[in-house]
Amino acid sequence: MEVEIISEESIKPSSPTPHHLRTYNLSLLDYLVGYPYVPIVFYYPNHNDNDNNIFQALQRSLVLKKSLSETLTQFYPLAGTLKGDSIECNDVGANYVLVLVHGRLDGFLHKPDLGLINRFLPLEPSFDQSSVGSRVTNVQVNIFKCGGIAVGLCVSHKILDGAALYTFLKGWANMASKSEEVTYPKIGDEWYVAMQKLLQQMGEIGSVGPTEYYIFTSWCKMGFNDIDFGWGKPSWVSGLIGKGFKGFFNLVTLMDTKCGEGVEAWVTLDEEELKILQCNPELLAYASVDPSPLSNDHVI
């Protein structure tokens, strides 16, 4: 499935950040956090298939840009750049990439090619991109030929965990849909929610040879499936695909299914270990491997 970049620009806050708020100091835990960006993709099908599919999607992109600019005024550190142990709130803005996908979203969702998901993100998952001067927020809006839209985000994990990411997205969605509900950020000691103290568990496995670590993190019950920019809730929400990146091995991310029954487990393991897992009869008795997100099967 070919992906073609249409445009790339900076979305700045609609109002400048006051001078006394230009530096946002990170806590020690924020500074030491391992993951450079929180990657997530929301998939919105076009329910009004007609001859104006792409034009309609482009109009929605304009709404996303305007509402993002307004939202960044409230969430001002997200419009800045990384600067060692702080965020420089310089209103550089979010990197906003508009992409045309030569294919249909419904066809992709019927049987997703997981190797394509990273193409819907504005950055390639890596541990090398959270450097000084990097933007905090990166967005890629993917427009499919059918008019469907996939919104991909990579926001620095040094300032956002899953719960804080939801707060930002909820505020952006409310602004885009002109909802009367107002979402305010908690900037300060409450901005970072206890470092996943997310919901994240670490376990040690292995009695022979080197100790092997597996990281489990849960985004369940956070409400990502309810993010509505004004044209309905997403048909699917996908997280990190660590294929080809050794730094993301031994990572399990749990997410809600759209129907609210069962859990999606995004598992990144060594290829040989993954083959063993996929053939485990006890696991297969309760879960399906790589099913369509449009089904109600329990998934891994």
- Does residue 67 contact residue 172 with C-beta atoms inside 8 Å? yes
Dihedral angle over CA of 63, 69, 74, 75, nearest 10: 100
Q: pLDDT tens for residues 10-57? A: 999 999 999 999 998 887 666 665 557 888 999 999 987 777 889 999
Look at the chain and report how many structural domains it folds into: 1
Query: Helix or strand or coil: residue 256?
Result: strand
d(CA 176, CA 60): 9
- Identify the H or E element spanning 99: strand 94-101
Q: Tell me if 129 is assigned to some domain.
A: yes
Q: Tell me if 151 is assigned to some domain.
A: yes
Q: Tell me if 138 is assigned to some domain.
A: yes
Q: Tell me if 294 is assigned to some domain.
A: no
pTM: 0.87
Q: pLDDT tens for residues 148-182? A: 999 999 998 888 888 889 999 999 999 999 988 87
Q: pLDDT tens for residues 188-237? A: 544 444 434 463 444 444 445 556 777 788 888 899 999 999 999 999 99
CATH code of the domain covering residue 150: 3.30.559.10
Q: Which residue has the tokens 């496995």?
A: 205
- Does residue 12 contact residue 91 with C-beta atoms inside 8 Å? yes
Identity of the residue numbered 278: Q
Instruction: Give the domain extent around 80.
Output: 3-284
